[in-house]
Amino acid sequence: MGQMGKSGRKAEVSPRFESWGRYPKYQADVVPLHWAGDFPLARPPATKQLPVGLGRSYGDVCLLENGTLLLTTGMDRLLHFDAATGMLRCEAGVSLQQILDFAVPRGFFLPVTPGTKYVTVGGAIANDIHGKNHHVAGTFGRHVLRFELVRSDGIRFVCSPIENPEWFAATIGGMGLTGLMTWAEIHLRPIVSRKIDYRGEKFHGIDEFFALSQAATSEYTVAWIDCVSTGRNFARGIFMQGDHAEAPGPLNRSKEPKLTFPFDLPQVALNRFSMAAFNSLYFHKQLGKQKAGPVDYEPFFYPLDAVLHWNRMYGKHGLLQFQNVLPLESGREGMLEILKAITKSGLASFLAVIKFFGDVPSVGMMSFPTPGVMLALDFPIRREVSFDLVDLLARITLEHGGRMYSAKDARMTAEQYQSFYPQWQDFAHYVDPGFDSGFWQRVTGRRPLDV
Ligand SMILES: Cc1cc2nc3c(=O)[nH]c(=O)nc-3n(C[C@H](O)[C@H](O)[C@H](O)COP(=O)(O)OP(=O)(O)OC[C@H]3O[C@@H](n4cnc5c(N)ncnc54)[C@H](O)[C@@H]3O)c2cc1C
């Protein structure tokens, strides 16, 4: 049954909302919001609620079994732009793609962007996302000026570093649990061209990666690392860096991608051999040791967005993402242990990235990034092996003083989460009593792990 919003419109209810990893799968009512007035839907709500955006989180941070998901993508209006300062006010369901379509032709760009532009502003703030410029720009939350928060009891207030600053800090990286953000103001940065001055360099082994990261001078840095090959090809990769071009160039809107992954691939298609072949091709596509020149920002920031629904490649069982950060002191040893465990398992896919995070502090109370070395990669879900592997990687992360990223997780235990984020009990005071998520249930020990 649909519920009536405050605007008087009967909200539609659609049956299914998946996270990007397509695991876990929970049944929930999905109630699309079109106006801030559509919420709160009922007082007190019959079921717990959770705002959601484009579902680009991998695990259960955007899921709530038998709850009500407040789908914000209908709240997608740009409200105000000041070209003198770069300040953009927009509704929380606006996607980063919409912002780029609007801003690039006007000579502006996102201050921080993840590896996909199909995320909403609300989702970007709630997970306090990071990008290839973390070492200089910090997380997305640092570039948020203000937003409105609405609680399930109907109370609404503006949050900024000076207005309700404790709510500002709890909501940035607050995983949607502190209330619904309706609009936000963010600071865009000027550009003079769509082009990125790119440089790619091959490396062999973790020590070469560390040396390249420490010597890098660009605004954007990230590396692809081969987590499949062993022997002399172990931990080879390509270190990529780039800066916005300084020479004036094209500022046109991007074209829509034409390719869509058409169906769920059978599990057998993605195996040790196909992944090894892909990794080898990727490594050798850059023929020389170094490659440099101007490239468009789309393939530089969003190579995976070129194929819509690429997550279908992992089949209907879905994928697990593992993302962690280790402090620099233990980063080399810890990453070697992790990379060895991954190559030994034969489960890694080709989507593995490694990067140095900087020491720019995050604004959010529960934000993921800390200074150190970060690794992110996907595993196809094969119950008997992939759960054990991710559990092992979580244990190694804990032993080396690191932490894992909630936006990408479906497997952390309550004990692990509470060690990674010891401030979780302070944060719990800000959680809206009408809100909950599968993730929050799991990491507070109210939902058992799948075995
Ligand atoms: C290909 C790919 C690459 C990625 N690369 C990166 C990366 O480089 N760096 C990075 O940090 N992340 C990355 N991500 C993860 C992604 O950026 C985050 O998970 C992001 O939060 C997803 O936004 P969304 O709009 O899809 O939100 P959802 O996934 O739907 O929700 C995310 C969280 O936001 C909350 N939320 C959503 N809207 C609101 C609102 N209006 N008010 C309050 N809470 C709200 C939800 O409750 C949930 O907790 C990547 C994901 C993919 C698929």
Domains recognised in the chain with CATH numbers: 78-191 (3.30.465.10), 195-414 (3.30.70.2520)
DSSP assignment of 296-344: EHHHHH-GGGGEETGGGGG-TT-EEEEEEEE-HHHHHHHHHHHHHHHHH
Ligand 1 and 241: CB distance under 6 A: no
The pair of structure tokens assigned to 2 is 């649909």
Smallest CA separation from ligand 1 atom 33, residue: 123
Predicted local distance difference test score (pLDDT) of residue 90: 98
Predicted local distance difference test score (pLDDT) of residue 300: 95
Ligand 1 and 119: CB distance under 6 A: yes
The pair of structure tokens assigned to 87 is 């300040």
How far are the Cα atoms of 218, 299, 322, 404 from residue 374, in angstroms, in the given order? 18, 21, 10, 9
DSSP assignment of 234-295: TTEEEEEEEEE-SS----PPPPPP-EE--SPPPGGGSSHHHHHHHHHHHHHHS-SSEEEEEE
Torsion, Cα 66 72 73 77, to 10 degrees, reads 170
Name the residue of 77, 116, 406 to mutate for ligand 1: max ligand atoms within 8 A of Cβ: 116
Which atom of ligand 1 is nearest to 72's Cα? 41
Ligand 1 and 73: CB distance under 6 A: no
What does R_g of the chain's alpha carbons equal in angstroms?
21
Smallest CA separation from ligand 1 atom 4, residue: 115
Q: Provide the total of helices (H) and of strands (E) in the chain, helices listed first.
A: 12, 20
Predicted local distance difference test score (pLDDT) of residue 266: 64
Alpha carbon distance 286, 288 (integer Å): 6
Pairing of strands 87-91, 78-82: antiparallel
**Centre of ligand 1 from the C-alpha of residue 407, in Å:** 7
Please, what's the b/e burial string for 109-129 (b: 16 or more CB within 10 A of its CB; e: otherwise)?
bbbbbbbbbbbbbbbbbbbbb
**Centre of ligand 1 from the C-alpha of residue 439, in Å:** 14
Alpha carbon distance 51, 180 (integer Å): 6
Alpha carbon distance 254, 449 (integer Å): 42
Exposed/middle/buried for residue 44 (C-beta within 10 Å: 0-12, 13-18, 19+): exposed
Q: Among candidates 365, 39, 36, which has minimal Cα distance to 171?
A: 365
Ligand 1 and 180: CB distance under 6 A: yes
**Centre of ligand 1 from the C-alpha of residue 115, in Å:** 11
Predicted local distance difference test score (pLDDT) of residue 8: 39
Given CA atoms 225, 22, 99, 159 in this order, what sign does their dihedral have?
A: negative
The pair of structure tokens assigned to 174 is 């607050």
Which atom of ligand 1 is nearest to 118's Cα? 26
pTM of the model: 0.94
**Centre of ligand 1 from the C-alpha of residue 408, in Å:** 9
Please, are residues 356 and 221 in contact by the beta-carbon 8 Å criterion?
yes
Q: Among candidates 350, 359, 357, which has minimal Cα distance to 374?
A: 357
Predicted local distance difference test score (pLDDT) of residue 258: 65
Given CA atoms 162, 163, 166, 171 in this order, what sign does their dihedral have?
A: negative
Question: Would you give the DSSP letter of residue 160?
Answer: S
Predicted local distance difference test score (pLDDT) of residue 236: 95
First vs last C-alpha separation in the chain: 33
Exposed/middle/buried for residue 328 (C-beta within 10 Å: 0-12, 13-18, 19+): middle
Smallest CA separation from ligand 1 atom 13, residue: 114
- Residue matched to tokens 């410029």: 133
Torsion, Cα 53 148 371 211, to 10 degrees, reads 60
CA angle, residues 199, 343, 331, in degrees to nearest 5: 60
* pLDDT tens across the length of the chain (451 residues): 333 344 434 444 455 799 999 999 999 999 999 998 888 776 667 899 999 999 999 999 999 999 999 999 999 999 999 999 999 999 999 999 999 999 999 999 999 999 999 999 999 999 999 999 999 999 999 999 999 999 999 999 999 999 999 999 999 999 999 999 999 999 999 999 999 999 999 999 999 999 999 999 999 999 999 999 899 999 999 999 999 999 999 999 998 876 676 666 666 566 666 677 667 767 777 667 778 899 999 999 998 888 888 888 888 889 999 999 999 999 999 999 999 999 999 888 778 999 999 999 999 999 999 999 999 999 999 877 889 999 999 999 999 999 999 999 999 999 999 999 999 999 999 999 999 999 999 999 999 988 7
Q: What share of the chain is helix, strand, coil (3-state, %, to 5)?
A: 30, 25, 45
